Amino acid sequence: MSDFPYLVADELRTEFAGRGFVVTPDVFDAAELRHYATVIDAEVKRRTTDDHRTLAEKDLYEQSFVQCMRLWETNPEVVPFTCHHGLAGIATQLLQVNGVRLWQDQALYKEAGGRETTPHQDQTFWPIGLEPLVSAWIPLQDVTLDSGAMAYVPGSHLAGRLKVVDITHASEPYAILDDPALGGIPPEPVAVQAGSVIWHHGLTVHQAAANRSAQTRRVFTVVYIGDQARRIKAWPAYPLDRAGVQVGEIMRGAGLPRVWPPGEQWPEPPNQTSVLVGPQNQVE
C-alpha cells in the first residue's frame, strides 16, 4: 500500500514471517530521534527521581532494567512517538492485518552493569491467545553486543505459546531455552544502530544481554495488536480490565487506541492511570 509512510520490503515481511524478528533500517532520522530521546529521558527521570538505590540494592528483576510504562498517558510530548504513523504502519504490514491498536509503550533503560534479561515470550503474559501481536524495540542510541543488545531464537514464534517464564524471579524461572519445542536453537544477538527498529513477534523467544558498557542503554518499545483481536481469557490484564473488555470482545477502549489507519488527530490518553514504574507483566 502506497499510503504507508514506511513501506516494508517484501523480503523483510518474509523474513519476519519465517524468523519472528526483523530490523527495519532508517525509520527515524537523527534529529527526530534525538528530539524524542530527550522527551523520554526527561519522563524517565521524572518518574524515578526519588529512587536513590544502587544497582546492587535492587532485586534481580530491577537489575535487568529501569522500566517505565505507558509514558504516552502521562506526557503529551510522547504521544506522537508512541502513536507514530510510520511505526504503526510497519506493524500493520508485518502482521499482515488491516489495522493495529496500541497495546502499550514503555521505556527500558538498562543501567551500566545491569544483568541480562531472562529469556521469555511476551504474549504468554496476557489473555490474548494467538492474536496478532508485535513489538517495536527502538534504540535511542547505538546498541552493541556489550551494551545490552537483544537476541532472538529464530523461528521460535512458530512453536506457539510455551510455558510462562517468571521474569520477576519470585519463583524459580523456567529455562525456556531448554524447551524441546525450540530444538536447541540458540538466541541470535542483534546489534542495532540508532534510527533503526527491531521488530519481534509476540511469541518469539528473546532476551537482552547484560550491559557491560559504562553507559545506560536507553530503549523505548511500543507493542501493537491487530485491531480485530479479541480477549481470550478472563485472567487479569491491566489495559483490558481498565477498558472493561470482556472475554470474546474486541480489545478496544481507554488506553487501546487504533493507531493504524491513523486518525486526523492524535489519540487522547485515558484520564487516569496506575503507577507505571516497575514490573507490569511486560519486558523486552
Q: pLDDT tens across 234-262, in order?
A: 999 999 999 999 999 999 999 999 999 99
Instruction: State the DSSP H helix or E strand holding residue 4, giving kind and residue range, or none if neither.
Output: none
Angle between helix axes 10-19 and 85-95 (nearest 10 degrees) is: 60
**What's the pLDDT tens digit per position in 44-97?**
999 999 999 999 999 988 999 999 999 999 999 999 999 999 999 999 999 999
Q: How far apart are CA 250 and CA 248, in angstroms?
A: 7
pTM greater than 0.85: yes
Is residue 23 helix, strand or coil?
Answer: strand
Q: Determine the average pLDDT of the residues in 159-184.
A: 87
- DSSP assignment of 61-82 equals HHHH-EEEE-GGGT-GGGHHHH
Q: Closest by alpha carbon to 195, among 55, 32, 13, 68? A: 32
Q: What is the average per-residue pLDDT within 119-138?
A: 96
The pLDDT, as a whole number, for residue 275 is 44
Contact between 149 and 143 (Cβ < 8 Å): yes
Residue 173's alpha-carbon distances to 139, 161, 164, 258, 277, in angstroms, are 27, 16, 9, 35, 22
pLDDT at 278 over 80: no
Q: How far apart are CA 213 and CA 210, in angstroms?
A: 9
